[in-house]
């Protein structure tokens, strides 16, 4: 965890260093890009702690999503789906419905996992 915090602080420091103009040139840029450039103020300890807490929460949800996609979890879900659908379906209809439900289940969890990984990546930047 300290390693992640240090890498976040290093990234912040590097990004702040890249925004500082050491050229000593006081001329106004004519490119128009400087108008959109806003220096960020350094994060206070409370903000850093909030970001870390948010990152840990996202990582926890991502771990849960990953666990849902593991074979053991999928087998349990499939058994539950089979039990529920077998009350109204039989034979090939049952097997097709189970396959469809499992495919939908996996796709939904993969989307959740992708979103959480993206969110986690944004928190680290």
The DSSP call for residue 68 is H
- Residues in Cβ contact with 102 at an 8 Å cutoff, skipping those fewer than 6 apart: 74, 77, 78, 81
Could you list the pLDDT tens digit for every one of the 125 residues in the chain? Answer: 344 434 444 444 444 444 344 444 444 444 445 545 556 788 788 888 888 898 889 888 888 888 888 989 999 999 999 999 999 999 999 999 999 999 999 999 999 989 988 988 888 87
Would you say 62 and 49 are in contact if contact means Cβ atoms under 8 Å apart? no
Q: Where along the chain do its domains lie? A: 2-14+44-124
**Confidence (pTM):** 0.55
Exposed (0-12), middle (13-18) or buried (19+): which is 116, by Cβ within 10 Å?
Answer: buried
Residue burial 4-19, b: 16+ Cβ < 10 Å; e: rest: eeeebeeeeeeeeeee
CA 72-62-14 angle, to 5 degrees, is 145
């Amino acid at each position: 965890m300290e390693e992640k915090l240090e890498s976040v602080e290093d990234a912040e420091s590097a990004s702040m260093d890249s925004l500082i103009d050491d050229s000593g040139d006081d001329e106004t840029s004519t490119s128009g890009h400087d108008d959109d450039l806003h220096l960020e103020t350094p994060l206070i300890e409370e903000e850093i702690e909030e970001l870390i807490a948010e990152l840990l929460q996202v990582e926890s949800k991502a771990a849960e999503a990953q666990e849902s996609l593991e074979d053991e979890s999928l087998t349990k879900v499939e058994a539950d789906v089979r039990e529920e659908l077998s009350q109204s379906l039989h034979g090939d209809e049952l097997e097709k419905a189970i396959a469809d439900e499992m495919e939908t289940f996996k796709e939904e969890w993969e989307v959740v996992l992708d979103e959480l990984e993206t969110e986690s990546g944004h928190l680290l930047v």
